[in-house]
Amino acid sequence: MHESVSIIPEGRLVCGIQLPVQALSVRTSMPWEREGSTVDDMLRVAQACDDAGLFYVAICHHIAIPRSHADMMSTQWFDPIPTLAYIAARTTRTRVMTNVYVAAYRHPLDTAKAFATLDALSGGRVILGVGAGHVEAEFEMLGLDFVQRGALLDESIDAIVAAWTDEYPVLPGPRYAVKEMGQRPRPVQQPRPPIWVGGYGKPALRRVAERGDGWIPQGTPRKRMPDDIAYILGHRDEVRPGARLEFGYITEYVYVGDPDWETPKGTLSGSPDRIVDSFNELGEIGVSHLQLRFASRSADECCDQIAAFGRDVAPHLVRKELS
């Protein structure tokens, strides 16, 4: 088991977003994104996050969507690596992250090389979020066994960590056995960039405890968070005692202020104090990073909301340290 890597300062509850436009799933995009949005809109939102001091911007990962899933998921999924490189070149401090990258789709040394390069180009701003994947047809298209996706991810995480910590890593396999093969550039972040594990069920939670530096829940409701965090920490104490893990949460839609339009059901809106109180409840149970979703009708309104959040909400967010 490898040592954990922590990048969030103690006591802080930081925030990021999954960038709009890059993926147009009906479940995660606002109508304006599906009605003629542009790459420039995506870039302006990323730069608004950079200006507001948000901790990261994230991109999701799919290669090709089966026709049977396209109405709900859409077929627009920008490739994470060039997209994050493009964003990193036009921002200065926000971290660039995948939420999540399906590591099984590529040889782990290919993934390690791509994200080490991105870390070097961005000045050390990479967070690699990984997940097992859920679209069986994508695995079939690539000649991969969907049933083995968890084992593929575990081996990939171990291999990526090895490649980031040793220029000539030794990978024991079974699928990816490598030795005497070196990689540069090396990551800027030392000892390596963090790897946050996405997922919902018990196998994903155990993976966080065993191999991850943090957790990105995928659809986990608030009421379940304390139990899932306790489960991760309990398993961590068995396999990797003392590892410091970052716990995330994907929020409901947020609107700073009182909207004069019909926001998505369940939107958290109102005064900055109300939003601070709500999110600090998550900080109290040990959540350290929030992935925000801003209710908006345009890229301009999204940028305005990010600015308001960064000014009036983010500075007042705190979290409790968990042992």
pLDDT value at residue 2: 82
Q: What is the pLDDT of residue 322?
A: 83
pLDDT at position 321: 86
As a whole number of angstroms, the distance between CA 30 and CA 37 comes to 10
Q: How many residues does the chain have?
A: 323
Instruction: Please name the helix (run of DSSP H) or strand (run of DSSP E) that holds residue 67, with its range, or none.
Output: helix 67-73
Distance (Å, whole) CA 179 – CA 162: 11
CB 90 within 8 A of CB 122: no
Looking at residue 164, what is its pLDDT?
Answer: 98
Beta-ladder partners of 171: 178
Closest CA to 42 of 74, 6, 72, 80: 80
pLDDT value at position 220? 94
Asked: is 14-316 a CATH 3.40.50.850 domain? The reply is no
DSSP β-ladder status, 171-172 and 177-178: antiparallel
Q: Are 253 and 264 in contact (CB under 8 A)?
A: yes
**Pair 135, 100: CB distance under 8 Å:** no
The residue ranges of every structural domain in the chain are 14-316
Q: What is the pLDDT of residue 184?
A: 97
Intervals of the chain under pLDDT 50: none
Question: Do residues 160 and 111 make contact, with C-beta atoms less than 8 angstroms apart?
Answer: yes
* Backbone φ, ψ for residue 71 (5° rounding): -60, -40
Q: What is the pLDDT of residue 191?
A: 96
Distance CA 80, CA 61 (A): 6
Write down the pLDDT at residue 219: 87
- Listed as own residue / partner, the contacts of 177-184 with beta carbons closer than 8 Å and 24 or more positions apart are 178/109, 181/109, 183/109, 183/112, 183/113, 183/116
**What's the confidence (pLDDT) of residue 39?**
98
- What is the reported pLDDT for 187? 98
